[in-house]
Amino acid sequence: MNSPVTLSRRLFLIRSAQAGAGLTLGVALNAGAADGYTGATGKAVDDELAANAFVTLKPDNTVIITSKHMEMGQGTFTGMATIAAEELDADWSRVETVSAPSDSDTYKNLIIGMQLTGGSTSIANSWTQMREAGAAVRQMLLAAAAKQWQVPVGELTTDANQVIHGPSGRKATYGELSTAAAAMPLPDKVTLKDPKDFKLVGKQFLPRKDVGKTDGSATFTQDVRWPGMLTAVVAHPPVFGGTVKSVNADRARAMPGVKAVLEVPSGVAVLADTFWQALQARKALDIVWDEGEQADFSTAALLAQYRELAGKPGLEARNDGDAAKVLAESEQVIDAEFAFPYLAHAAMEPMNCVIQRTDKGADLWFGSQGPAWDQVNVAKVFGIKPEDVNINILYAGGSFGRRATADGNYVTEAAHIARAYGQSVPIKLVWTREDDNTEGHYRPMYVHRIRAALDEAGNVTAWHQNVVGQSIRGLDENTVDRTSVEGAANLPYAIPNIRVDSHNTVSPVAPHWWRSVGSTHSAFAVETFVDELAHAAGKDPVEFRMALLRDHPRHRAVLQLAAEKAGWGKPLPEGHFHGIAVHESFSSYVAQVAEVAQNPDGKFRIVKITCAVDCGVAVNPDVIKAQMAGGIGYGLSPLMFSEITVEKGRVQEANFDRYRVLRMNEMPAIDVHIVPSGEAPTGVGEPGTPVGPPAVANAIFAATGKRIRQLPATEFFA
Amino acid sequence: MPVTLNVNGKTHTLEVDPQTPLLWVLRDHLQLTGTKYGCGIAQCGACTVHLDGQPVRSCSVPVSAVGDQPVTTIEGAESGEFQALQKAWQDLNVYQCGYCQSGQLMSAARLLADKPDPSDADIDQYMSGNICRCATYDRIRAGIKQAASDLATEVSA
């Protein structure tokens, strides 16, 4: 056991109003708050399951872990439970995870500073907090047992939801002790386990805690149904920036089940008893649109602008030495330009939101990634306080960043509909796939131009990278957006002269974060270009990188592990080729080796991806492997097929028939290896995504001698 | 005109527009929400149910075309193949967000009924109509193989 540590955040107890209802414990984040949860927030705690706490013990011996992070498939419900249950010494089969409500003070993401699930931060920011929450509850159980049995605390141990007194052989379950534990004083110091004593953290397999997903019983936003609920669909303008000029809704209003047709800022909403009725009525609307200034907008024209900017100086994102001078004086300069299209997230569950205006505020039910933003945006629409907006956070059917909307977007639209309708009935806003795929909030288009100089010995002496695209964070033309240049400005390779330029561009299409954000494009540009430099220098791509990564041991370790596990440099079957890439994002390190095979028709099949990951302490190895595999699959779609293009203001890929995504027959075999580590844990939701595409592109180069400069590279695959 | 449907062994008579896709009748009228909406154009497979034992995309089947063919949804699926798959899905943590998994399981159940020992090519053929944006495909493949193996053991035992 480690020595006790003072709690880094003040703990407080929540005692249920019901006698004998067990113990709940929360961690207060605001050191200045009044004692006790109730006093701090003014909310009554009469239902322990809905109480704002991280750990709840129930007399039936169930342990409920409240996850401040929403579950969208990434396994965070399992992760939060693992960490708290570890320190609590809980029986995994008796642990359940529930979602926290919207309460940004209590459930703040400690890295981001507000309640938000994103940036692959969930495990990283919760690690210490959830350990302390679990350890404090365990300590109270020990104190309760010691008092009941009149034995010293030092003689007590815990295991699998039981407190055990070795000398007497007495045992009691956590459930049996929960009420007595609730009466114990809150510990001001807790003892955290020595990692060598971990039983759950690092265990190869634990059943997931987001249950109900194999029998249809899990509730997604799409499945919420309240008595009297109406379904809303919205006719959106056909072009970006369009507005309603006039609407004739007579036919729509007369259709069965239709309750209202309402103009809202984003278009015309139809409310009906069922989705199908609403959809039919939407088709019957007669709307004249003002297409505005963007009626002729095209992504082809935008790309041409970006290519021009890629040759011009931009904002300085990094400047080591004098790259321009060295490039001008060098005999061997390699110059390449890369283009990346807009991408829709295309989560399986299109955007949706259930909302009901109440006397005091509003209740919402949906898979919110950023409840703190959503509360503010909904509150603005109604002119109420954000804390009077109550969000019940549900499972999201995928999201990949899409549901983290600082600008409100579909959530604001739902609020406008509820406001315009006026009556206090639950309304479910449903976007069709076409609504979802054509609305914007895409991974923006980018162009990268990279020029690098090699000396006679094959050393890279200068690197100049120019990144052109929209600022996801909406920064002006004079401010570098780190999300545009992440993966480029922090280039890990030891090159004496590095310059990175950034251009924030203007487009009518709303930009958004898309699983791994800047790395979605920077990793491809950097890692295929480094491969190109290795070949130009006549060096093996692994050895070439290893030498340039001399100051980055964690990059080196994953690179070496992936290469070793894939059999890099060893003979492959006829027609099979290897490519490799390494990239750090969100403080996790990933290297991947792609094995591709060329079919008789010249097209490529991605046979296998071997992945090595270093994410610090591996809390849930099985979840890490799942996230690497899923991240790889998500990243391969835009390498192979996916893109959003706009012609005459209209998105051309509205549904999966034209917005092609990876399917079963295109998924490679995946082999994931985790670097053993005692470093603080970091995220895994995003870092697997950006590495596969450059590894595959490098393998295709090995096969064909052709470099991929523009995504998607459909010609190689279909 | 009322529509009569046999869903999961129960008969329902509903007043509904006969053009309404089976998916929305299941979800909005019968509250069987395990079957999901993903695309509405039979491209993603999230809405897969069995019609007289055959997998169909319920988003693209008007309720009037169902007639007396029995409909089976995830809520009513209970074949040996389905149960073996469900167990494998849990044993291997196959799912992530879970939204597409009802459809995946319904497609996979038919695959195992037709091909008790499916090859990779069989899996590709039966399952490539079901999109999973979490890309759980490798585990779906492993889950199908484990279920097939469990069923084979059961039969031989």
Each residue's pLDDT tens digit, A375-397: 999 999 999 999 999 999 999 99
Final residue before a domain boundary, out of A430, A455, A471: A430
Question: A661 CA to chain B: closest CA distance, Å?
Answer: 8
Each residue's pLDDT tens digit, B118-140: 999 999 999 999 999 999 999 99
Q: How open is the CA angle A699-A704-A709, to the nearest 5 degrees? A: 75
Question: Average pLDDT, whole number, for chain B?
Answer: 97
Check pLDDT > 60 for residue A698: yes
Give A199's Cβ-side CA count (13 Å radius).
Answer: 14
A204 found inside a domain: no
Q: Examine the domain organization and report whether A483 and A607 are in the same domain.
A: yes
CB A399 within 8 A of CB A405: no
Q: Does A207 touch chain B (CB under 8 A)?
A: yes
Give the pLDDT band of residue A718 (cuts 50, 70, 90). Answer: confident
Query: What's the mean pLDDT in A639-665?
Result: 98
Q: Which residues of A touch B94 (CB under 8 A)?
A: 214
A207 found inside a domain: no
Instruction: Identify the H or E element spanning A521.
Output: helix A519-536
Final residue before a domain boundary, out of A197, A232, A247: A197
Q: Does A208 touch chain B (CB under 8 A)?
A: yes
Check pLDDT > 90 for residue A4: no
Q: Which residues of A touch B99 (CB under 8 A)?
A: 220, 347-349, 397-398
Each residue's pLDDT tens digit, A64-75: 999 999 999 999
Minimum CA–CA partner of B33 in chain A: A223
Give the pLDDT band of residue A693 (cuts 50, 70, 90). Answer: very high
Question: B100 CA to chain A: closest CA distance, Å?
Answer: 7
Q: Examine the domain organization and report whether A316 and A287 are in the same domain.
A: no
SS3 annotation, chain B? CEEEEEECCEEEEEECCCCCEHHHHHHHHCCCCCCCCCCCCCCCCCCEEEECCEEEEHHHCEHHHCCCCCEECHHHCCCHHHHHHHHHHHHCCCCCCCCCHHHHHHHHHHHHHHCCCCCHHHHHHHHCCCCCCCCCHHHHHHHHHHHHHHHHHHHHC
Number of C-beta neighbours around residue A74 at 10 A: 32
Question: Average pLDDT, whole number, for chain A?
Answer: 93
Q: Examine the domain organization and report whether A118 and A240 are in the same domain.
A: no
Give the separation between CA B105 and CA A640, rounded to whole angstroms.
26
Chain A segment 63-122 residues within 8 A of B by beta carbon are 71-75
pTM of the model: 0.95
Test B33 with A215 for CB contact under 8 angstroms. no
Instruction: Determine which of A1-5, A646-650, A662-666 has the lowest per-residue pLDDT on average.
Output: A1-5
Instruction: Identify the H or E element spanning A420.
Output: helix A410-421
- Name the residue among B44, B96, B123 with its Cβ closest to that of A656: B44
Test A398 with B99 for CB contact under 8 angstroms. yes
For A410, the domain range is 221-292+351-430
* CATH code, domain carrying A419: 3.30.365.10
Minimum CA–CA partner of B77 in chain A: A215
Query: What's the mean pLDDT in A280-305?
Result: 97
A438 found inside a domain: no
Q: Examine the domain organization and report whether A375 and A479 are in the same domain.
A: no
Name which of A405, A408, A410, A419 is nearest A263 in CA terms: A419
Q: How open is the CA angle B138-B142-B147, to the nearest 5 degrees? A: 150
CB A45 within 8 A of CB A16: yes
A37 found inside a domain: yes
- Name the residue among A218, A655, A667 with its Cβ closest to that of B138: A667
What pLDDT score was predicted for residue A24? 61
The residues with which A156 forms a beta bridge, in sequence order, are A165
Chain A segment 667-686 residues within 8 A of B by beta carbon are 667, 669-670
| Numbered ranges of CATH 3.10.20.30 in chain B | 2-76
What CATH code is assigned to B80-156? Answer: 1.10.150.120
Q: Examine the domain organization and report whether A88 and A163 are in the same domain.
A: yes
What pLDDT score was predicted for residue A267? 98
Instruction: Determine which of A132-136, A207-211, A704-708, B117-121 has the lowest per-residue pLDDT on average.
Output: A132-136
Query: What's the mean pLDDT in A487-491?
Result: 97
Interaxial angle between packed helices A519-536 and A621-640, expressed in degrees from 0 to 180 and rounded to the nearest 10: 80
Query: What's the mean pLDDT in A123-149?
Result: 94
Final residue before a domain boundary, out of A430, A459, A488: A430
Question: A429 CA to chain B: closest CA distance, Å?
Answer: 14
A679 found inside a domain: yes
Q: Does A3 touch chain B (CB under 8 A)?
A: no
Give the separation between CA A410 and CA A429, rounded to whole angstroms.
8
In which residue are the tokens 């302390």 written?
A132
Query: What's the mean pLDDT in A512-518?
Result: 98
What's phi and psi for A464, nearest 5 deg? -130, 115
What pLDDT score was predicted for residue A21? 53
What pLDDT score was predicted for residue B157? 62
Chain A segment 610-629 residues within 8 A of B by beta carbon are 622-623, 626, 629
Question: B99 CA to chain A: closest CA distance, Å?
Answer: 5
Each residue's pLDDT tens digit, A206-226: 999 999 999 999 999 999 999
Chain A segment 572-611 residues within 8 A of B by beta carbon are none
Question: B137 CA to chain A: closest CA distance, Å?
Answer: 6
A211 found inside a domain: no
A159 found inside a domain: yes
Each residue's pLDDT tens digit, A158-204: 999 999 999 999 999 999 998 888 888 878 888 899 999 999 999 99
**Interface predicted TM-score (ipTM) of this complex, two decimals:** 0.98
Q: Examine the domain organization and report whether A185 and A278 are in the same domain.
A: no
Q: Examine the domain organization and report whether A514 and A597 are in the same domain.
A: yes
A205 found inside a domain: no
From 3.40.50.10860, 3.30.70.141, 3.10.20.30, 3.55.40.20, which CATH number describes the B2-76 domain?
A: 3.10.20.30
Each residue's pLDDT tens digit, A415-426: 999 999 999 999
Higher pLDDT, A27 or A499: A499
Query: What's the mean pLDDT in A144-153?
Result: 97
Q: A520's torsion region: left (phi>0), alpha (psi -120 to 50) or beta?
A: alpha
Each residue's pLDDT tens digit, A21-75: 566 655 433 322 222 222 222 222 333 322 237 998 888 999 999 999 999 999 9
Minimum CA–CA partner of B134 in chain A: A630
How far from the centroid of its chain's Cα atoms is residue A468's Cα?
24
Test B17 with A256 for CB contact under 8 angstroms. yes
Name which of A506, A493, A497, A503 is nearest A448 in CA terms: A503
Provide the token pair at A352.
């949706």
Q: Examine the domain organization and report whether A112 and A134 are in the same domain.
A: yes
Minimum CA–CA partner of A515 in chain B: B134
What pLDDT score was predicted for residue A37? 26
> In whole angstroms, how far apart are CA A177 and each of A23, A131, A144, B3?
9, 20, 7, 56
Test A395 with B34 for CB contact under 8 angstroms. no
Query: What's the mean pLDDT in A526-549?
Result: 98
What pLDDT score was predicted for residue A318? 98
Q: Examine the domain organization and report whether A379 and A503 are in the same domain.
A: no
- Name the residue among B94, B127, B137 with its Cβ closest to that of A633: B137
SS3 annotation, A226-287? CCCCEEEEEECCCCCCCEEEEEECHHHHCCCCEEEEEEECCEEEEEECCHHHHHHHHHCCEE
Give the pLDDT band of residue A5 (cuts 50, 70, 90). Answer: low
Question: A664 CA to chain B: closest CA distance, Å?
Answer: 5
Give the separation between CA A295 and CA A247, rounded to whole angstroms.
19
What is the total count of domains within chain A?
Answer: 3
Give A148's Cβ-side CA count (13 Å radius).
Answer: 21
